[in-house]
Structure 1
Amino acid sequence: MEWDMPVHSSPTGPSAVFTIGCLVILVGLIVWWALSGESKRGPALPLFMLGTAISAVAVEPVFDNTLLYWYPPDNGLGVFAAYGRTVPWFVPLGYAWFFGGIAYVVWRYLQLGVDRRQVWWTFAVVALIDALATSLAGWLDLSGFYGPQPFMFGGVNVWFAFADATGVLVGATILFVLTPLLSGRNWLWLLVIPSISYGAVLGGVSGPVTLGLHSDWPTPVRWLAGAVTIGLCCAVIHGCSYLTAGARPTELWAEKGSRESASS
């Protein structure tokens, strides 16, 4: 089933304010990283944020089509156009601070040593942040969902907030597990990994919703598909909590080395 993308004009004032807001958050994270001593831990934050901004170019127009998300086609603040979407500047900036910056903050929180309940609470907070940000863009007529979206209440897309928050927690888990192994030019892997990880997570968990949106299914079945997507998100977070709760990344690799030594 095909759904025509609604065509809206771009409100220049709100779009500029929203873009500046994303930029302020992004710059604030970089300043915090540079001045707080976080930079001594390596270049994970700026590289991961840049990597997630790059991923916006790679995956955003694709998911806009599969998940039925519109942007104004004529947008003075558009950064590039592809696959029938004119993607505005606030998208790569938003990817950078949300999927990159918040994932970094969550990773640092996980390093403190948390239990599985705290991982789930962190997931809930990230989902609320995403729901607020995406809903605000819709309320300001900057972008939004269309078609028969399940779990959509007053402009708040619940299943999508779960999916985006899952992407952040997966990013934080990747940093948790991977950063002890990175040094020198290997840090540059953080420019590549976000396009793969976020694309894989959102593509995987949103599959049921995508099928529902593009099939001639009755509304209850589409909502069931949305519930399955939410369930898949929860399954991924369960795995993330299993890897990160109460563990240290060095302990994970030490345990792996011990098993390999015992089996040899």
Structure 2
Amino acid sequence: MVSVLALAGCAKKQVDETQNPDAATDADGSGDSDSATTGSSRARGSTATRSGGRNTKARKVTAKKPPRVVPDEGSGEEEGPNGLFAEGFAVAAVSAVPDFSSLGEPSSSFVVPNLDFDEDDAANGFPGASELTSNYGIRFSGSINITEEAEYELCLHSDDGSQLLLEDTLLVDNDGVHEEAVEACELLYLAPGEYRLEIRYIQADGPLMTMHFAWAMNGGDKVIVPTEVLFKPDATGA
């Protein structure tokens, strides 16, 4: 079972790996080397990574809900509650993350299991919304379920810009139009709880689109945040 988040600002340097826990057996970010090596790299080309390790003071965020009780087995629903709800918006000549509340109704809506999109051809559109090829923004919403107290480093690795909010507080700011995928991170201390989550993403007119949401727990290996800790908002009918 995955646990608490803790992140801190990122220093600029090359990132070697971000592993996908949905393809490996170690999904808690604790850095078990036997299982961590089975995941594929998901952060190639990043120009920033986490800073300073244990000497960095983690920010604290408080959840408004207790953690979800997750059953040992699936609920039997055809479409389960896990994942994030996505809303896509066409934006003229996008250069920064927009105020989504001012954009009116989205042009498309869909669900993603997690955020692990690795240098896809932008001309094919964003996975789940093929009409979104350039100059668009996507708002991903839902919650992240933390069942174990810990420090988590939360990271966004994207081309172009991205931002992460927990409980309506902006914590990771990776905004702007990027020449290549860039990573930004924040170190957070989180107690058990279900935290409201919003991730914002933009794509201008470059040839590639990249969007990863990863974490590391207590200084362990960085992995893509797994589907089983992400929950769609109640408003989507989940």
Which protein has the bigger helix share?
Answer: 1
TM-score normalized by the length of structure 2:
0.26
Which structure has the bigger radius of gyration? Answer: 1
Which protein has the bigger strand share?
Answer: 2
